[in-house]
Amino acid sequence: MKRLKVNLKERSYDVVIGHGALNSLSDIVKKLDIGRDAFIVATPIIKALYGSRVRKQLKKAGCSCFFRLIPDSEKAKSVSICINILNELAAYDTKKRIFIVALGGGVTGDLAGFIASVYRRGIPYIQIPTTLLSQVDSAVGGKVAIDLSVGKNLIGSFYQPRVVVSDISLLKSLPDSEIKNGLAEVVKYGLISDAEFFTYLEENYVNILKSKPEVLEHTILKCSKLKALVVEKDERDNKDIRIALNCGHTIGHAIEAAGGYSKYTHGEAVALGMVIEAGLACILKKLNPKVRTRLEVLLGAIGLPTRIEGVDLDNIMTAQEHDKKIISGVNRFVLPVKIGGVRVFDSIPTSKVRTALSERM
């Protein structure tokens, strides 16, 4: 089992990673002394799969457990569901020392973390991520949010968990499509900050797809470390450092939105976004085309798309112009300039963005 510290002064916390990490939950919770009553947010599937293991551990730590079930989709991050849970939490909160447990993928983590951040101006919460995406990305870093009908993640906080427990054995039940989804973000870490890790992925992606424990553990530890380093330098995303994590996401989000959030999954859209943004960097003469080819070969081998099908170019352009990262009407892209390095570019001519997209259609 590996333990990694996210250094954020009084908000520092550990990320515990390993096969069977959940078996140490009882000791972890006892040591943290964050409360006596666990309010566990989970979907019905995750409660059925792992609820009793979590309950057993928390009981061992002397905690009471209450499961609040949520729908199994992005729709769970709605204002109405959030308010309902807050009301139930307040009714439940009599002579208790409550802490929240987010048991599930990124949807559960974002919603439960957001609730923890606003209830009584903040109560402790812990993340037990159950998808590859949430173990490598969303559970670490403290960005928590819910959606508005006009856009995703528009109501949110920066609110760090007290611990992240990433048990690799929980990924065994994850469908292959969700492993691929998470792998798009994993490739992103190599592309933006670690050439050696990118090469490791080229050599080991098959073993990740086969869920080989030691390869998964190395990958999740590496990504958590890379994310922690970025978050430590720019916790609140206002120093042009954390923005590196958006590589592939400006175009990716636009493709997701233009496809009505049904044509491509988030991971697929991010894979397309990375290839197109790499293409844009080539057009701007900031990236060697051989690097784009390497990226494309790796994503394609994983089974992620590298060409857009069935989504209209004009719709992608419109969605991209509405992207929330556009500052005062100027577009902003985080583009790869080598394997393991990105730079922020402002005001890229629309015609160049269009060319980069059309090359992939």
Which helix or strand (DSSP H or E) is residue 361 part of?
A: none
Minimum distance, C-beta of residue 163 to ligand NAD, in the bound complex (Å): 16
Minimum distance, C-beta of residue 144 to ligand NAD, in the bound complex (Å): 6
Burial annotation 323-358 (CB, 10 A radius, 16+ → b, else e)? bebeeeeebbbbbbbebbbbeebeebeeeebeebbe
Q: What is the distance in angstroms between the CA of the first residue and the CA of the last residue of the chain?
A: 44
Q: Please, which residue, 178 or 323, has the CB nearer to ligand NAD?
A: 178
Q: Does 107 bind ligand NAD (CB under 6 A)?
A: yes
Interacting residue with ligand NAD among 163, 170, 184, 353 (CB under 6 A): 170
**Site of tokens 């995303």:** 237
Minimum distance, C-beta of residue 91 to ligand NAD, in the bound complex (Å): 26
Q: Does 178 bind ligand NAD (CB under 6 A)?
A: yes
Which helix or strand (DSSP H or E) is residue 227 part of?
A: helix 213-233
Counting residues that bind ligand NAD (by CB under 6 A) gives 29
Q: Does 224 bind ligand NAD (CB under 6 A)?
A: no
Distance between CA 95 and CA 181 in Å, rounded? 42
Between 111 and 150, how does the x/- string for binding to ligand NAD read (CB under 6 A)? Answer: -------------------xx-xx--xx--x-x-------
Q: Please, which residue, 131 or 224, has the CB nearer to ligand NAD?
A: 131
Minimum distance, C-beta of residue 355 to ligand NAD, in the bound complex (Å): 29
Q: At what angle do helices 213-233 and 176-193 cross, to 10 degrees?
A: 50
Minimum distance, C-beta of residue 161 to ligand NAD, in the bound complex (Å): 11
Distance between CA 197 and CA 227 in Å, rounded? 13
**Site of tokens 């209209």:** 312
Candidate ranges 70-78, 190-198, 200-208, 213-221; the one touching ligand NAD (CB under 6 A): 70-78
Q: Please, which residue, 74 or 93, has the CB nearer to ligand NAD?
A: 74
Total residue count of the chain as it appears in this document = 361
Interacting residue with ligand NAD among 110, 167, 194, 323 (CB under 6 A): 110
Candidate ranges 3-11, 88-96, 165-173, 307-315; the one touching ligand NAD (CB under 6 A): 165-173
Residue 260: phi, psi to the nearest 5?
65, 25
Closest CA to 270 of 70, 168, 133: 133
Q: Please, which residue, 133 or 258, has the CB nearer to ligand NAD?
A: 133
DSSP 344: E
Tokens of 231: 């978050």
| Residue 75 CB neighbour total at 10 angstroms | 12
- Furthest CA-CA distance within the chain: 63
Enumerate residues 181-220 that contact ligand NAD by CB under 6 A. 181
Distance between CA 173 and CA 129 in Å, rounded? 13
Candidate ranges 27-35, 174-182, 208-216, 298-306; the one touching ligand NAD (CB under 6 A): 174-182
The half-sphere exposure of 60 on its side-chain side, counting CA atoms within 13 A, is 15
Between 28 and 67, how does the x/- string for binding to ligand NAD read (CB under 6 A)? Answer: ---------------x-xx--x------------------
Q: Please, which residue, 79 or 330, has the CB nearer to ligand NAD?
A: 79
Q: Does 165 bind ligand NAD (CB under 6 A)?
A: no
Phi-psi region at 175: left, alpha or beta (left = phi > 0; alpha = psi -120 to 50): beta
Q: Please, which residue, 7 or 173, has the CB nearer to ligand NAD?
A: 173
Q: Give the interface with ligand NAD as residue ranges (CB under 6 A).
A: 43, 45-46, 49, 72, 74, 77, 104-108, 110, 130-131, 133-134, 137-138, 141, 143, 152-153, 170-171, 173-174, 178, 181
